Structure 1
Amino acid sequence: MKSKPIIMIAFLMAILPVMSYGQWSTEFVDTTGKVGNLNSIAVDADGYSHISYFDRTNWDLKYAHWDGSAWQVEVADSTGYYGATSIVLDTLGNPHISCKLEFPEYYHCIAHIWWDGTDWQRDVIETGTEMFQDIGDYTAIALDASDYPHVAYTHYPSSDFGYLKYGYKDASGWHTVMIDSIGCVDGVKYCDIALDNQNYPHISYYDYDVYDLKYAYWDGATWHIESVDTAGHVGKSSSIALDSLGYPHIAYTDGTNYGVKYARWDGSAWQIETVESDIGYGFYTSLALDANDHPHISSAEYASDLRFAYWDGSVWQIEVVDDAVGCGWTSLAIDGDGYSHIAYYDDVYEVYDLRYARRAPTGVEETRPIPAALHLAQNYPNPFNSVTSIQYTLPRDSFVRLSIYNISGQLVRTLVNRPQKPGNYTVSWDGRNNNGEELSSGIYLYRLDMGEFKDTKKMILLR
């Protein structure tokens, strides 16, 4: 994809290492600055992943997609001030994203941003009536059978209450309604949306006043609102999916027992169960149903592991996907072949990367070759004026630090500072320091430290 001329296309990210965790493989998608938080993932008909996410360094909305051989990364919108993002693909495989913008200046709005096959387009769904009035901090998007967008979002018009709102687009434009009003600061959080076969919306959300999981749906004539789970502090990070009968399934955080809960409607009542507990808080849950309507859930142990749970038809199976991260957000999708795909944010200090994990269906094991020798390659291109790539190879598990120094030997940027698995790595540097500031032209040194191995090479930045 290309973006409008006024929007700079971000670097093309070469595939980063594939690291195996049982049936899981993980890799880096974007490592340029503080990127990857508030992400959302969707998978197309070819099983390729599409991810929307927040670039905190440049305050951009970014978009990455796998083209079959490499990750393509670009800026979808550079207006600024983004909250949670949500992505869905239309019948042509083009991405549609809902998110919060600051547009016009100092006024927050909820927006629909989409790729029309040629350029990125933007609709403003609703704008706050006062400066800095929070609208769209949490949002979710779905497309109906005609590819019209439906968006759930939060709105905090004052310090006294918060709204759950819903917007939908038809041939005449956008229409918005208030579904629920809750009388406390930031009254509604963590909403998600799914459409049934009549294109009616179903929304899960968190009632911040009484700490409950709630559910709202439209029956064609009126909105219905229910409290699904009221047992303690429950309902943060809610994620909803509808099964083949149109019944809702919801995954969410159990703040009382520090774990993950799951609720499903069986046609007459809500069935609620604990997936896992005492894991240091099951944050950032994301739910997807497989072809058998079995639930799969990604979650984060607070500032620690990326976790995954699925129902095998008899019991919950629990897996640690990545234990070398400080996971700060997750989003899960399942493709048509049963592969699970997770976008996740590594929130470790001085890391802040967008990462991706893929799991083969049960019984399918993927293997990748392990490099035979350690190697630090010359950056390419060199000289460079915007972005350059640095490649290195690890033959074994190592704690790796990849750093950039100026010609005086002063540290200007830390690109990698973490344990890594064997593999071939590519890391991009955008010519900025750790504060996100552009550096001047000159000679810079990049140094790889891995235990007893140290290697340094020169590169030239030309502005």
Structure 2
Amino acid sequence: MRGTWVPILLIAASSIGCDGAAPPATTVRLAIVLDERWALTELAIDVADEVIRVAPASEVTLVLDDAAAGTATRIDVIGQRGSDAIARGETSVIPILGAEIDAVVVLALASTGCEDACAPDEARCEGDAVERCERGEDGCLAWSAAVPCESGRTCSLGECSDTCADECATGETRCDGETSVATCGQADSDTCLDWLAPSECTEGETCVGDRCRAECEGAEECTAPPATTCADIGTLRTYLAAGDCVSGRCVYAHEDTPCTCEVDRCVACTAVDWTISTIDSAPENRTRTAIAVDPSGGVHVSYADARDDLAYAHRAPGATSWDVTPIGGGASCSFSPLCSIADQTSIAIDAAGRAHVVFYGSSITTTGLHHAFDDGSAWQVEQIDHDGYRSALAIDARGVLHVVFSRYGTGALVYGQRRADGTWGTIDIDPSGAASEPPVSLAIDGTGGLHVAFHGRSGGLRYAHRPRTGGAWTLETIDADSDGSSAIAADATGGAHVAYEHLGMLRYAFRAPGGTWAHEPVDAGGRHAAIAVDRAGRVHVAHYAAATAARDLRYAHRAIDGTWSGAALDTRDDTGESPSITVDRGDGVHIAYRAWTANDVRHAFQRSCAP
């Protein structure tokens, strides 16, 4: 079954072009994950109210009507054995006109209320017969009907044999699962001892070691409290050494200590302490920085270097120095595969800790929006769109790459997704277009929803949103008078957070899922805003104080109670242009930015201490 392809034609109207060739089909390549042990006989695939039945396969190709392009389309797959529905799965896609997209459906057993009673391939004796562990029609593992041994043979150790061996010792007991116990005795016609059928423990007891017992029978037994741990990033939880025995279980009281908690202890830090390091000297002073942190704490930054090539810097967890790699390559632009990095870069990290960067690049052989990625051995570069420009990248929990960008010529705001075969599918979000300045921004919330902030060609700050389940993009205006940069972040619940310029001021806008936009002032002046939201919902903003004589990097923080505080972080030289910001798993704040006068790219870091 593995690797097979089953083409399916779904209500696809046949049409021929003027040159006699059929136009490209709108298709979905669907991978189906199932368990061959379910012994399915048929898959019923329901797409656009059309049900197609095929033999079980690991992959199928669905050809859709072109009218389905751009709209959320649900695909339901039912795995059947005969007339019984054994397993089900579903997904939603947004087909792309004349292109193929990838989708995955993971089938799960239909709810039967049963539980596995044994382990695969296990066997046991039942008198002079053998029972084997097999998967039943309900999908659960259960003991088969007993098969008697041939005349003159007996069952021993789960197999029919001419001789027998003791399976256990007289009076011995053992646990059979968490709530039952088996006893050693005589179960068949031979002279050897066997494990008898298990009996259930008394309600409230569990089988521990070799007998049924309550967790405790008195408070004197409750002397092993849980280990001290972080209840959350702001609370250290410590359990009392002695507990109470309640209904046979030990219950321990605990004490909570407010602090900045890491793993199992409080850590001390000063809220004003920032560590600033130089990533690279003499980089190209045009492009914006981009920053991301991988799950292990490694920091990744992309920018343009002094040769006008795309550069990537990485600092390993616990390290103090940066490794800088020119991705564009070549000491001269005329010999570089990709050079003239004329626009912002955007970076994201996949589950394997590898970096992906999107950027505008041009050379004698290629131009437009490109995707560079580390394949584990070397950097690879591929084109996303010949006319793509002003882009932002994000990777969702499934590892799917999402990009938004504006397109030269039409000015349309475009969304793209990378397929499994490495090609990109795109669709217009707002055909009326995004302004050439400032850049667009993209964020994915904790539910998988996509959020985009951009400036419309006719002015004003705009917002686009698509939920995890797919469907059409919704568009609305956040602030009709916004006249500068903006950046968006999303929280775990689906809330959208935007920092942006408004008539010379730095402002913040927030919208809860399904709610309306609320606006707050942040700073009297600020450009090139960048925003991030930590796990507790605190908001972090980095920006360039271009409106002041100092021209420095500034940082603003919104506490959980809604109050804002801010300070200058780096006042050396003309510092702070094009900042990018992110938070790590410990809610530490990382900022990458340019120091114009010194011609540096720098990194600022602060451990999480804020309330």
TM-score, scaled to structure 1:
0.65
Matched with 1:90 is 350
Offset of residue 221 of structure 1: 1.7
CA distance in 2, matches of 1:88, 1:288: 14
Offset of residue 187 of structure 1: 4.9
Matched with 2:244 is none
Higher strand share: 1
Offset of residue 294 of structure 1: 1.5
Aligned to 1:268, the other structure's residue is in SS state coil
| Bigger CA radius of gyration | 2
Matched with 2:528 is 284
Moved more, 66-75 or 198-207: 198-207
Please, which of 551, 568, 578 is the counterpart of residue 320 of structure 1?
A: 568
Q: Note if 1:100 corresponds to 2:360.
A: yes
Matched with 1:40 is 290
Please, which of 374, 379, 390 is the counterpart of residue 120 of structure 1?
A: 379
Higher relative contact order (CA 8 A, sep 6+): 1
Identity %: 29
Please, which of 463, 485, 499 is the counterpart of residue 215 of structure 1?
A: 463
Report the residue type matching 2:412 in the other structure: Y
Report the residue type matching 1:355 in the other structure: R
| Cα 1:33/1:203, change in 2 over 3 Å | closer
Q: Note if 1:356 corresponds to 2:603.
A: yes
CA distance in 1, matches of 2:381, 2:487: 25
| Cα 1:195/1:312, change in 2 over 3 Å | closer
CA distance in 2, matches of 1:214, 1:177: 18
Report if the CA contact (8 A) 2:301-2:347 is conserved: yes
Q: RMSD of aligned C-alpha atoms?
A: 2.3
| Cα 1:21/1:289, change in 2 over 3 Å | closer
Residue by residue over 1:195-252, the C-alpha shift from the partner in whole angstroms, topping out at 9 and shown as x without a partner, is: 2455442211112422x1111122412111110112x234x32211111211211111
CA distance in 1, matches of 2:453, 2:371: 20
Matched with 2:322 is 71
Q: Note if 1:304 corresponds to 2:551.
A: yes
Report the residue type matching 1:309 in the other structure: A
Report if the CA contact (8 A) 2:446-2:493 is conserved: no
Instruction: Tell me how many residue pairs correspond in the alignment.
Output: 322
Matched with 2:301 is 51
Aligned to 1:118, the other structure's residue is in SS state coil
| Cα 1:48/1:217, change in 2 over 3 Å | same
Structure 2: any 5+ residue segments left out of the alignment?
1-269, 330-337
| Cα 1:183/1:269, change in 2 over 3 Å | closer
Report the residue type matching 2:453 in the other structure: S
CA distance in 2, matches of 1:76, 1:187: 26
CA distance in 1, matches of 2:304, 2:589: 22
CA distance in 2, matches of 1:33, 1:273: 35
Q: Note if 1:24 corresponds to 2:274.
A: yes
Residue by residue over 1:57-91, the C-alpha shift from the partner in whole angstroms, topping out at 9 and shown as x without a partner, is: 31100000112231101112241121100001110
CA distance in 1, matches of 2:397, 2:609: 31
Aligned to 2:452, the other structure's residue is in SS state strand
| Cα 1:343/1:193, change in 2 over 3 Å | same
Report if the CA contact (8 A) 1:36-1:345 is conserved: no
Please, which of 334, 337, 345 is the counterpart of residue 594 of structure 2?
A: 345
CA distance in 1, matches of 2:283, 2:455: 31
CA distance in 2, matches of 1:313, 1:114: 36
Report if the CA contact (8 A) 1:154-1:189 is conserved: no
CA distance in 2, matches of 1:330, 1:352: 14
Q: Note if 1:152 corresponds to 2:404.
A: yes
Report if the CA contact (8 A) 2:439-2:454 is conserved: yes
CA distance in 1, matches of 2:400, 2:442: 14
| Cα 1:113/1:297, change in 2 over 3 Å | same
Greater than 3 Å deviation, 4+ residue runs: 32-37, 181-184, 186-189, 196-200
Report if the CA contact (8 A) 2:507-2:519 is conserved: yes
Aligned to 1:325, the other structure's residue is in SS state coil
**Mapping of residues 130-141 of structure 1, within 5 Å:** 135-136=388-389, 138-141=390-393
CA distance in 2, matches of 1:33, 1:180: 35
